[in-house]
Chain A
């Protein structure tokens, strides 16, 4: 009896150890991946046509979903904000509320989540398929570094595209809030804009929101491409990598958002 209890205890400790080791190993592999990509990044800045193609895939093709989501998020904020603020007879503040929540949080975060779903998953699947069809090995065989030619332009394109999409999302959201609160619910037009521009600070709010979007762009790009690059080269492996890429990227975005918010806005 005593020996079996000892045995169970040892096994659980061993299990804990193996989980920790596995976690550290995956962290280390990611760090090596980032370490290998960094020297390739300046190279891809000069391959402007390659970069532009990737910005097109990551950014332009995500535009419809960003525009639609931004408009509806803004409209919902306008509706909800008006509903609550009329209780205090201060429905003019709906502009401030919509703009601040979009600029500080919803713009960067929702755009990043949509980007992880739309562009991140596509990147993982594309690179994963390249790996499974041995295109990456073929490139290496021809002395073309896949880091420079495949990974770096895609990472850079994501870092460029996401802040742009976040800005468009914010502008679209503010417009949606305006349409609902001023157009439908009859909030005073002048007060809406005046209170908004009075309360929203360019440096503290807009710039911090932009920094958030850039950080999310870096994280999503690294996670998506790492998952693709390290995926098991089978159809199942690629599909798992794609799922993992979206799940990990979304969770990391939400977690890092909390850290960034607590650093920036307190």
Chain B
């Protein structure tokens, strides 16, 4: 075997291993599917606190991902947090009175937007806004409330 052939076999092997690694990383390790921008439309919601929600966090109905958070900013009128969500086109029949809440997956998991479906016959169109929202659970507020209820309980 000449040296050139040996080098060619070696480089071929290297390329093959790289391709296998790339496919492994794409399919098993990372959310490669999320990268292909599926056709989507935008909905927004105002929250008084988004907690640790980040851009590209999933939007879910009953645990199934139906879109991603596109942008988080402050609404200039109400000064509440405005979350713009890119919802995939196949879920274009969300009732007008659906509500959006910020939830946490598991005890230490990342935060996502959960949608509770309402009963209205009219549906949210592109650029629509969720009327009902529930903010992220802030531990400090929760403890504060607990403290108040405990003290009130003690007074009785």
The interface of chain A, by Cβ under 8 A from chain B, is: 49, 52-53, 55-56, 59-61, 63, 88-90, 93, 99, 103, 161, 164, 167-168, 170-172, 174, 193, 196-206
Contacts and interface: CB of A to CB of B under 8 A. Distances in A.
A167 B4 contact: no
B108 A93 contact: yes
A179 to B, nearest CB: 14
Given A168-B17, A201-B31, A56 B106 contact: no
B147 interface: no
A49 to B, nearest CB: 7
Given A56-B10, A93-B108, A204-B56, A168 B18 contact: yes
Contacts of A203: 35
> Which of A93, A170, A171, A199 has the most chain B CB within a 10 Å cutoff?
A171
B11 to A, nearest CB: 5
Contacts of B106: 90
A52 B11 contact: yes
A99 B3 CA distance: 37
The interface centre, meaning the residue of A61, A93, A167 with most chain B CB atoms within 10 A of its CB, is: A167
B32 interface: yes
Interface of B: 3-4, 6-8, 10-11, 13-15, 17-18, 20-22, 24-26, 28-32, 34-35, 56, 106-108, 110
Given A171-B20, A204-B56, A161 B32 contact: no
A16 B65 CA distance: 61
Nearest to B32: A202
Given A201-B30, A201-B34, A171 B24 contact: yes
A168 B31 contact: no
B25 A164 contact: no
Contact of A60 (B10, B21, B24, B110): B10
Contacts of A200: 29-31
Given A55-B14, A59-B14, A60-B13, A167 B30 contact: no
A167 B67 CA distance: 29
B11 A55 contact: yes
Given A53-B7, A56-B10, A199-B110, 12 more contacts: A52-B8, A53-B4, A59-B14, A89-B107, A90-B107, A99-B29, A196-B28, A196-B29, A197-B28, A197-B30, A201-B56, A202-B26
